[in-house]
Amino acid sequence: MTKHKLKHSIHMETEYNCGKPIILKFELQNQSDSDCGLLIYDNPLEGEALNFIEIRRKDCIIPYDGRLVKRAEPTKDSYRIIPAGKTIVEKLDLSTSFAIHEPGIYTVTLYTKFLDVISPVNGEIKLPTNKEFQMLTLDPLTTEFKLLSHIKPRPTSGEKARKWERELLQQKNTTLIDRNKSSVITINPKVNQPVPQGIDPDIMKVIEADANARAWISATLLELSEWSQENKNELYVELFGAYSPDNYKVIQDHFNKIKEVLEGIHYYVKPGADCKPDYFAYTYFNSKVVYLCPQFDAAPATGIDSKFGVLIHEWSHAAAQIKDNRYGLNNAKQLAISNPAEAILNADNHEYFVEILADNMLTAPIVWPDGKKAYFFCAGKYYQYDIKKDKVDSGYPLPIEHNWPGLWTDRIDAAVVWPNNKAYFFRDSEYMRYDIASKKVDPGYPLPIEHNWHGLGTDRIDAAVVLTNEVALFFKDYTYMRYDIKMDKVDPPNPFSIINNFPGSWSHSINGMVIWPTNKKAYMFKGWKYLRYDLNKTEVDSGYPLFIKNNWPGLPGYIS
């Protein structure tokens, strides 16, 4: 890497009037003999006072109150070339991001960090193939100014956003779509109502991404609460570094705050008024609104930098006051190794933790009627398992899309094969009927569980299994229900306690259950583990639970 020598300075007026712009002038000189390409993310080269400035009045820090952004992978346009020997100047209005309202002396400290530095080739930026950034940090610079009393203070961008948000809340809008403002999507998970017919597909994708974020945050918290904290967990170490009890509690607290927001009334604005080409989305601290940008539409439904992951990233800002220290998966993993204290405060680390967990958590296991194949779903993909060979078939996983016509393509909660040669798939409050012979979803689906599965309720199903041609079991949280297949309704009295009726098994929230055709044993899956249950003896076989990854060749998972 070429050694670049940069000299920077800042300048401000000695006094400013309250209510007027408060301008900081940033100068950067390239004292190298060669041109320098600098990534403009989160530094003065963006021309906006983002969260790289600290402002104090006496001993009090003025909180940052500007935008918090989820960005796409850098392109050539994300860099600015500073020619050798040249100086550039940027002017930043501090009043847009900091509530500088009280008269007095203010101390401003600028922390300039370039997340990537590239040497241009023939005047052009050539992006690295490994996507690992070469970071450059400049020395902090400090200056002072005096704020004079004058007209009323200027509101920050965060204050403006929250004022608009309060107006939304005063409307007491509990509908899914705000008809008066078509760009505002109002989510109220406590109101179980159908999605309006003819809804814009792009709006529908936001609603689905929000539901996925809510589902996978709950799964994440469940996993964190049940991992053995004395041992290293592969996924935790990968994204948050070496285990420590204090850091572990901080991460749990962050995800609990995100869950709290997602389970209450919250909003999405599409598109946000201040989007830039490389933005997925942005929000503000303590906000109930996330503003979606064009990169969100281009994101996949699941996987890395997915739609639901973008939402988790932004809610980590709004709900848990998480910052952006690094961008990108490789850089997030490197941060976990080099500086766990920063990793647990970095939004991308939180996002990727949940996305990878979702991508490796088996849900909806199902055995096909011929007893030759089983299927396991993970977020937007699935695995085909050869029961006789006891391993995943080559070429898997594959995407659900295009391989299961008509089925949801991003998340399946539960699945079961019915004696009528149909398979039923469940997600949230809906289900689909899949015709095994024609290999596609029957017309007219999805339908609500309520009114179509008598007695099952209106909400999510965790797992389902057919015990005999007459009885099926449906699991949810700590309980399960017996379903009379012939009578097509729940067989009272219900529900039953899982732990009391499946002694030795998990007490709640299993991810799936199947009856294996070769030994007629029940296999129950939860997180990274599974157990084998002897239905005749009504007990868990000795030595279980075990890790899926070590005992089901080809299936994913982590070791905790």
pLDDT digits (tens, 9 = 90+) for 474-494: 999 999 999 999 999 998 888
Give me the pLDDT at residue 342, please: 94
Give the C-alpha separation, 341 to 241, whole Å: 9
Say which amino acid occupies 23: I
pLDDT digits (tens, 9 = 90+) for 323-344: 998 888 988 999 999 999 999 9
What six digits make up the tokens of 99? 């509530």
Burial class (CB in 10 A: 0-12, 13-18, 19+), 61: exposed
Most confident of 128-142, 346-360, 450-464: 346-360
Catalytic pick from 314, 351, 355, 430? Answer: 314
Instruction: Please answer whether residues 522 and 535 qualify as being in contact, where contact means their C-beta atoms are separated by less than 8 angstroms.
Output: yes
Give me the pLDDT at residue 497, please: 94
CB count within 10 Å of CB 508 equals: 16
Strand partners, 124: 121
DSSP assignment of 293-306, as one string?
Answer: -HHHHHS-SSSTT-
Distance of CA 541 to the CA centre of its chain: 36
Give the C-alpha separation, 348 to 324, whole Å: 7
pLDDT of 63 strictly over 70: yes
What six digits make up the tokens of 147? 């704020």
**Range 204-218 average pLDDT:** 95
> What percent of the chain shows pLDDT beyond 90?
74
**Range 40-51 average pLDDT:** 93
In this structure, are strands 289-292 and 266-269 parallel, antiparallel, or unpaired? parallel
What six digits make up the tokens of 380? 């937007």
Burial class (CB in 10 A: 0-12, 13-18, 19+), 550: exposed
Question: For residue 408, which phi and psi values (nearest 5 degrees)?
Answer: -55, 145
Instruction: Please answer whether residues 178 and 186 qualify as being in contact, where contact means their C-beta atoms are separated by less than 8 angstroms.
Output: yes
Give the C-alpha separation, 171 to 185, whole Å: 14
Binning pLDDT at 50, 70 and 90, where does residue 176 land? very low
Give the C-alpha separation, 437 to 268, whole Å: 41
Q: Which secondary structure element, helix H or strand E, spans residue 205, and what is its range?
A: helix 201-226
> CA dist 92 to 49, 57, 149, 546, Å?
5, 19, 21, 56
pLDDT of 241 strictly over 70: yes
Active site residue 314: yes
Binning pLDDT at 50, 70 and 90, where does residue 228 land? low
Instruction: Please answer whether residues 272 and 185 qualify as being in contact, where contact means their C-beta atoms are separated by less than 8 angstroms.
Output: no
What six digits make up the tokens of 475? 């699991």
CB count within 10 Å of CB 145 equals: 20
Give me the pLDDT at residue 229, please: 57
- The average confidence (pLDDT) of the chain is 91
Give the C-alpha separation, 137 to 388, whole Å: 57
What six digits make up the tokens of 141? 């610079």
Q: Read off the pTM.
A: 0.91
Give me the pLDDT at residue 440, please: 96
Give me the pLDDT at residue 131, please: 62
Question: For residue 185, which phi and psi values (nearest 5 degrees)?
Answer: -105, 115
Cis amide linkage into residue 446, ω under 30° from 0: yes
What six digits make up the tokens of 311? 């939402």
pLDDT digits (tens, 9 = 90+) for 7-24: 999 999 999 998 899 999
What six digits make up the tokens of 330? 């490789």
Binning pLDDT at 50, 70 and 90, where does residue 172 land? low
Give the C-alpha separation, 123 to 285, whole Å: 39
Which stretches of 227-339 are DSSP H helices?
Answer: 234-240, 245-262, 294-298, 307-320, 329-338
Strand partners, 258: none
Give me the pLDDT at residue 540, please: 95
Give me the pLDDT at residue 179, please: 45
DSSP assignment of 32-52, as one string?
Answer: SSS-EEEE-TTSGGGSS--TT
pLDDT of 151 strictly over 90: no
Give the C-alpha separation, 531 to 414, whole Å: 18
Instruction: Please answer whether residues 127 and 74 qualify as being in contact, where contact means their C-beta atoms are separated by less than 8 angstroms.
Output: yes
- DSSP reduced 3-state for 192: coil
Residue 4: DSSP 8-state:
P
